[in-house]
Amino acid sequence: MKNEIIAHIDNPRALEKLYRSDKSAFKSAFNALDPKYADHPLMVFWKERLHDEPSEIAWGTPKDLRFVIIASLVAGAVAKLPKILAIDPEYFYSRNIGFIVFPFLMAYFVWKRAIQPQKVAMIGSLLLVALVYINLLPNNPKSDTLVLACIHLPLFLWAILGFTFVGTQYKSTIGQLDFSSIQRRFAGEA
């Protein structure tokens, strides 16, 4: 493997194929290369790529785990509200499906990002107004207002989640890019 790496030192595609064919052998052979190749641009790249991998998965703190478990249980209880309160499931879910998940995600980011109380109040107010609005719309099957509102509500909640996610960096492009990378992963584009 070592000789193959040296033979393809100027061919990034061939190096990538070698790496994918046997990652551990590639890594050992790469580490055993002669130091005279250390300054080659592709070797500098591969050194960073091979040695910058995280050694373990970060599972979060016990507080994070507690929060996630409690939020999951409460979200599950919210999802069961039609059965508990004898509400028509079609009526409930068509209007409130976004409120089963998004508020708990927002709460997590409010907690993790230590968002200022004024912004938390604004986020809470927006959620409350959206919740009251969507549930006060008349149940008229011939009207498109309810359908349009139900379509746009998750988009509105997603925007509030984005604001909550970036936290205090809402004017920073770094926070916005972080959120857009999550959007791409969620949409399956990454």
Give pLDDT, residue 117.
Answer: 93
Tell me if residue 43 falls in helix, strand or coil: helix
Predicted structure pTM score: 0.63
Asked if residues 138 and 90 have their Cβ atoms less than 8 Å apart, the reply is no
Give pLDDT, residue 173.
Answer: 66
Give pLDDT, residue 168.
Answer: 66
Give pLDDT, residue 184.
Answer: 65
Asked if residues 168 and 115 have their Cβ atoms less than 8 Å apart, the reply is yes
Give pLDDT, residue 190.
Answer: 46
Give pLDDT, residue 57.
Answer: 65
10-residue mean pLDDT profile of the chain (190 residues): values are: 85 86 84 79 82 67 91 95 92 93 93 90 96 92 87 94 80 63 61
- Angstrom distances, CA of residue 44 to CA of 15, 37, 77, 79: 13, 9, 53, 52
Asked if residues 179 and 162 have their Cβ atoms less than 8 Å apart, the reply is yes
Give pLDDT, residue 23.
Answer: 83
